[in-house]
Structure 1
Amino acid sequence: MTTPPAPQAAGPAPGAYAPGSYVSPIPVRRAHLGDALASEWTKIRSVRSTLWTLGVLVLLMVSIGLGVAVLVAASGVGTESDPALGLGFFGMLPGSICVITLGVLTIASEYGTGMIRTTLTACPSRGRVLAAKAIVFFLLVLTLTTVTAALVAGVQYALVGGPEPSAGSWVRATFGAGLYVALLGLLSLAVGAIVRHSAGAITIMIGVLLLPLVAGLFMFAESLQGLQEALFMYAIPSQMIALYADVPPFGSSGPSGWEPVLILLGVTGLALGAAYASLRAQDV
């Protein structure tokens, strides 16, 4: 007599483990811009380059700004006719090089180390990544630069004296100067996203900062006078001087008041648009 085979255990019924039947104890939600902002804030405050560049920025603004104020107060030159706020330019110009460097490193350094792959894996939306980097960087630089410029301007006015500046002059020399330098840093960030090389992007931005003035100094021919005046008028250092003065620094038709900020805002907007297009078009 043949022994019947032992009955096998019944397997799971069809559909017992259908998709969606398991509920994770970890809450799952869609990522948004706030998550990207938190990530970029963690990165920018964790790297040593931020501490060094912004520390040198504050050091240059304070030491040069107050040093010039002490020399002017000791000599007494121009203290009766010129407001002391214009002395802030001498510390702001070299400090802007630190902002340019940090703006480039904020994104270009990730291409150098390969960290950009992790960033885009965690947040595939390249527009969101670029926006988060730009917002965090801009707010950080704007806050630090404006506060430092306000403190330096107050001490400069106390040391030098001179005519009391208007409220509009105070705002332009503090918030306006901080806004201009922060936009210059955003422009550097956009160039870093396009070039994807830290040294190359920093070199380009240093050239944008200084080359127009240097080139204009060597234009002696009469036929180049129009170009020379334009370079002097629209060079970044000249635009920064205009923020501290009530009249254009070079010629009656040059930018003055808040016009330098508006010009740089337009240029930076175009550069960020090009950076976004570059991120979309190219692989990491």
Structure 2
Amino acid sequence: MLELLGYIGAIFIGLVLGITGGGGSILTVPILVYILNYNPVIATAYSLFIVGTTSGFGTIQNFKKGLVIPKTAFQFAIPSLIGVYLTRKFIVPRIPETILYFGSAQLSKETFLMILFAVMMFMASFSMLKNKKEDDIIQIGNKSLVVVVIQLFFVGILIGLIGAGGGFLIIPALLKFAKLPMKKAIGTSLLIITINSLIGFTGDIQNMEMDWIFLISFTTFSVIGIFIGLYIQQYVNEKHLKKIFGFFVLIMSFVILYKEILS
């Protein structure tokens, strides 16, 4: 029964990616951890493959519609993918199994990664829900572009730690700095997610054994979902997309924090 729920969840992962251009990993990691009982470290690795491959199919469809800006995608992807790869290859395997002790209690590596995952979602949701005026949008000069590159590198480190595709971090950057319309930001983010996720996953291949049969079957259902999501996306207003995305991320952050801390 739980396995069936997991595969139904896989369809919703693709659905969310197709509609919002991100958020797929926000579903992927909780489904793998809380429904299919995977260790969070393995779940974050599997998430990169599932979300990256699914996003790749979505990118092809959006490219045909003229909703992908490849030049912008690679500009944003290069700094972050370096951070993702280095994190999955070198940092995650070296995080100690027990990070902190609180008397008789302790903060494990797995709990730390899930809490970090939830905190980043919580912060990203506010970025998406906040109403910004045109005057608030920062123009990029040479100096600010350098700052953006550094920020994207650290975004890559965060993506690598939490196993996310990074849509909920990258879309706000595309809206703010690249000044793309919401639907083009979504289409372009899928290409960035594809690059970041699959490059990051190559770092995991060298550190752990993969269940390829599960990964391919689960990802197949997710790909079906993204085609459904891309179809639905045509009929959704851009402003509504941003709000829906923000509220979804906010709700999921509370769910994960509850599971990891309060329960």
TM-score, normalised to structure 2, is 0.34
Larger RCO (CA under 8 A, 6+ residues apart): 2
TM-score, normalised to structure 1, is 0.32
Larger Rg: 1
